[in-house]
Amino acid sequence: MSDPSAHSIPMPARPLANVDVVIFSVLDDALRVLLVRRPEAIGEPYPGRWALPGGFVDVERDRSLLDCALRKLSEKTGVLAPYLEQLGCWGDATRDPRGWSTTHVYFALIPGAEVVLQGGGGVADVAWLGVDSSARARRLAFDHAEIIDAALERLRGKVEYTSLPAFLVPEPFTLPQLQRMYEAVLGRRVDKSGFRTRMLAQDFLEPVGPIEGASKRPAMGFRLKDRSRATYFPRTFSPRG
Amino acid sequence: MSDPSAHSIPMPARPLANVDVVIFSVLDDALRVLLVRRPEAIGEPYPGRWALPGGFVDVERDRSLLDCALRKLSEKTGVLAPYLEQLGCWGDATRDPRGWSTTHVYFALIPGAEVVLQGGGGVADVAWLGVDSSARARRLAFDHAEIIDAALERLRGKVEYTSLPAFLVPEPFTLPQLQRMYEAVLGRRVDKSGFRTRMLAQDFLEPVGPIEGASKRPAMGFRLKDRSRATYFPRTFSPRG
DNA sequence: TTAATAGTGTCTATGAGACAGTATCAA
DNA sequence: TTGATACTGTCTCATAGACACTATTAA
């Protein structure tokens, strides 16, 4: 790390740099997204409005954008190792009244059972909101409604041909439980037999013995062979629509 | 747009904000990426090394990150309306010796014939480099080798199930020409009959009359019905590997 | 006629979708 | 035995892949 003043070329004005996280989970068979309420302090934009968890990059504390996203996620949910991927960047002169602003958005999938909502850290409230109408009905801060739309589109699109919903259910899970995650995200029923064949053919699940008590007949419990990445299927779910 | 000093909350230190563009094209049946040589001026990092075209966001001039990417692309290639999508963001404390730096990377597809390489703008040289070994063999500036790897992975992955290569060939084009674009990106041959069936079934091409002179027998010319977006196929190209 | 490229027909195997059927548990 | 859920078998149909075939031009 060098001292900027040692360079002869002047550095240009810099935009504000944020990181926001779209955290998805399935609760009560419904896909939900985590929102926090904006603080009411003087000078804060969108006071009291719902927003994605996030905030400025802390160049002293965060070694990278990913570090920053993991920090913001653990501050709000206590979850340390979720599925996390970069969604994209939004940046323009008008999205933040404080000036030219960029945000680097990550999207996370976490099992509903593992969540412990935590306030503090400059937010007055934390809550799960359904993605269908409630999130859109409330007026979100910044361009966060647009960002959530993009995250939803990415998630629903990828669920058609990846194992992403496996990150929405706590391990070990049964195939019927995993199927319910797919159905919650896709918003439609899928065939049981085809679902089983499809999942087992990809060889990304590892059986860990039957799970009892969850239903009448015990089902085989599975866990991911590799929690660090999703599996891609060679076809989408329903070509025939 | 408000004056930052009017707010009571102090703004944090800000990272440097860059935009870089990975510009792909197919020349001589080989996939290539556009690189520029870093300037040699005092204080410039990686002087004389090859790098992706890009640079600092100009908060006075660029209204958004996308504007900035389009500006940098047209400065180097003269192309105004290519296929352009966001690839992602890279940002950490060490990628630029001048300090905590973020870059917002876009990836572009342009037809080889339309390119007019243009120097100037602070670069000593501009060139197309093959993606296979030459780009990796030369030591690129910053983390641009890693970024190109990511762009290649994205491109090759999407080509399996999208119409992206249609943006690499000038309109109007014939199906055999389009097939050569697919083969150049994928690095393997594909079956002619299956290719034709697949392309025409998706209904994203519009016939515009036969093209003569290109070969012995004239072939039907096509153009995209919608140049603003790619078409997604329901299956990948070769499930059987 | 020949060479070269454009375009089509046909066979086969795969595998998804649908759904009926069987297995295994609790009560 | 009944009900509920887990799991399997089977039939059908669409289509990708392979490849041989025909069509249309220039020379």
Residue-level pLDDT at B132: 75
Residue A89 and residue B106: Cα distance in Å, rounded? 10
Residue A240: band (very low, low, confident or very high) from pLDDT cuts 50, 70, 90: very low
Share of chain A above pLDDT 90, in %: 65
Residue A53 and residue A120: Cα distance in Å, rounded? 12
Query: How near does any CA of chain A get to the CA of B70, in Å?
Result: 14
**Looking at strand C, which nucleotides approach a protein CB closer than 7 A?**
3-10, 14-20, 23-26
The answer to whether A154 and A107 have CB atoms below 8 angstroms apart is yes
Residue A77: band (very low, low, confident or very high) from pLDDT cuts 50, 70, 90: confident
pLDDT tens digits for range A185-202: 999 999 999 999 999 999
Residue B38 and residue B21: Cα distance in Å, rounded? 15
Residue-level pLDDT at A216: 82
Summarize the confidence of residues A40-54 as an average pLDDT: 92
| A233 Cβ contact partners less than 8 Å away, ≥ 6 residues apart | A161, A162, A163, A198, A202
The gap between B193 CA and D26 C1' (Å) is: 24
For residue A165, cis peptide bond before it (omega within 30 degrees of 0): no
Residue B34 and residue B110: Cα distance in Å, rounded? 11
**Cβ-7 Å neighbors of strand C:** A 191-194, 197-198, 201, 212, 216-218, 234-235, 237-240; B 174-177, 192-193, 196, 210, 214-220, 239-240
Residue-averaged pLDDT of chain B: 87
Both structure tokens of A21: 């996280």
Instruction: Tell which wins on pLDDT, B237 or B102.
Output: B102
Both structure tokens of A173: 């899970």
pLDDT tens digits for range A147-166: 999 999 999 999 998 999 99
* Count of CB atoms situated within 10 Å of the CB of A189: 10
Residue B164 and residue B230: Cα distance in Å, rounded? 6
Where are the alpha helices (H) located in chain A, listed in sequence order?
65-77, 134-137, 144-159, 175-186, 192-202
Does pLDDT of B113 surpass 70?
A: no
Any idea which nucleotide's C1' is nearest the CA of A239? C16
Does pLDDT of B121 surpass 90?
A: no
Which of A19-33, A50-64, B108-122 has the least mean pLDDT? B108-122
pLDDT tens digits for range A101-119: 999 999 999 998 666 666 5
